[in-house]
A = this chain, B = another copy of it.
């Protein structure tokens, strides 16, 4: 008999949907000791949260997140709200002894993140950040190949995350759906939103980053603000690129923008080692490109691995070879891993502490873009 695990979800937007779907599906495909129960959903607007709860089958609703955290029947708090609220909610949830699953980035700044790390560690609550791309099967397979030494010494890492949805100057900033353009709420632009994913994956696959030099640009300088109704300066970085040196001696290049016409959510990375190289692309997330120099010379080439076989990470839980899964499944895998960790008394990655490393890199990147200097990344 499975043990119920009661989730209280805060924030009923895009991520609220992605997480709810994961909680509902995970038990159908994974054998777990716990069964997630959609206990309560929370959002500020009554009608919104009611409709959301009905659609997803939440048993109850709240409009004040503090009340949700006070409830005794909640085991875990899932933070799906905009970045400016992460710290406050996490501190309260940790104090209340709840497990915490927090959307990425952990916080707007490393300073906020540090408080959050301290809180979950002081209160010893299970915690994780939703850097979901680690659990796309092709990305997990990349990790396995690297850990198995298939690449040998690493020379290069490069990643981009390219979008094109904010090119129109008429697009306003702020408010529902557009808070990512409001610096006060988001903390930064593409750096915290998109590069944070790239940085998390990079350090997971290739270890820590020592130092960076960066540039940012805000192409559209002013936009109407939805909350004030006035044209206001845009504070976020529309684009950010940086060079990095990893602790293992390899070189990194990173770039993100929302002004790359033709790319919807093109997150790609490539890693070049002495013996082999790997590439991945979010637009075809079910494939991994792999080049192995050990192949015989006349048949050496980049292989396109269709990551749908049972032997491949997570895939024994789904369909049959050749039948692809999609974006949403990465969240299901994260819930499965988190619950397995819970059952076995170990933390599933990335914890707040691990995600805090990404905060440090983001801060260093933004500081470098501002100072026009190389900036060292604090090791903690």
Residue with the greatest number of chain B CB neighbours at <10 A, chosen from A290, A308, A327, A329? A327
CB-CB under 8 A from A213, the residues of chain B are 213, 215, 243, 372
Quick check: A293 and B156 within 8 Å, CB to CB? no
Q: A260-B155, A277-B262, A327-B325 are in contact. Are A28 and B56 (CB under 8 A)?
A: yes
1/0 per residue, CB under 8 A from B, across A301-327: the answer is: 111111011011000001111111111
- List chain B residues, Cβ under 8 A from A286: 324, 326
Contacts of A249 in B (CB 8 A): 219
Given B145, B156, B284, B309, which contacts A257 in the complex, CB threshold below 8 Å?
Answer: B156
A46 CA to B213 CA, complexed, in Å? 51
Chain B residues with CB below 8 A from A287, complex form: 284
Binds B, one of A97-105, A265-273, A351-359: A265-273
B245-A243 in contact (CB<8A): no
In the bound complex, CA of A56 to CA of B25 (Å):
9
> In A206-258, which residues have CB < 8 Å from any B CB?
213-215, 217, 219, 239, 241-243, 245, 249, 251, 253, 255, 257
Residue picked from A249, A301, A321, most chain B C-beta under 10 Å? A301
Q: Which of A14-22, A72-80, A84-92, A120-128 contacts B (4 or more CB under 8 A)?
A: A14-22
Q: Which residues of B contact A56 (CB under 8 A)?
A: 28
- Known contacts A261-B276, A261-B293, A298-B312; A328/B319 CB under 8 A: yes
Tell me, yes or no, whether A67 is within 8 Å of chain B by CB: no
The one of B151, B299, B321, B328 that contacts A305, using a Cβ cutoff of 8 Å = B299
Chain B residues whose C-beta falls within 8 Å of the C-beta of A34 in the assembled complex: none
A21–B28 CA distance with the chains assembled, in angstroms: 8
- Residue contact A253 to B251, C-beta cutoff 8 Å: no
A24 contacts which of B24, B259, B302, B311 (Cβ < 8 Å)? B24
Residues in chain B near residue A14, CB distance under 8 A: 319-320
**Within the complex, which residue of B55, B239, B272, B311 is in contact with A156, where a contact is CB–CB below 8 Å?**
B239
In this assembly, does A275 line the interface, its C-beta being within 8 Å of a C-beta of chain B?
yes
A375: min CB distance to chain B, Å: 11
Residue of B with least CB distance to A56: B28
- Is A49 close to B, CB under 8 A? no
Smallest Cβ distance from A316 to chain B, in angstroms?
12
Chain B: CB-nearest residue to A145: B299
Residues in chain B near residue A144, CB distance under 8 A: 298
Q: Is the CB of A301 within 8 A of B306?
A: yes
Asked whether, in the complex, the Cβ of B155 is within 8 Å of the Cβ of A219, the reply is yes
Bound together, the chains give a CA A203 to CA B241 distance in angstroms of 19
The answer, yes or no, to whether A158 is at the interface (CB within 8 Å) is yes
Using a CB-CB cutoff of 8 Å, which residues 322-380 of chain A contact chain B? 322-329, 372-374
Tell me whether A291 is interfacial, beta carbon within 8 Å. Answer: yes
- 25 CB < 8 A contacts A-B: A14-B320, A24-B24, A158-B160, A158-B255, A163-B322, A164-B293, A213-B243, A215-B243, A241-B251, A261-B275, A261-B291, A261-B293, A263-B277, A265-B323, A283-B306, A283-B324, A284-B284, A284-B287, A286-B326, A290-B301, A292-B299, A298-B312, A301-B305, A303-B304, A324-B327
The 8 closest A-B pairs by CB, nearest first: A265-B322, A264-B322, A262-B291, A301-B303, A301-B305, A326-B326, A323-B327, A264-B321
A sample of 16 more A-B contacts (CB under 8 A), given A24-B24, A156-B239, A156-B257, is: A14-B319, A21-B25, A27-B55, A28-B55, A151-B261, A156-B260, A167-B274, A213-B243, A213-B372, A243-B243, A253-B253, A261-B277, A264-B320, A292-B299, A318-B328, A326-B326
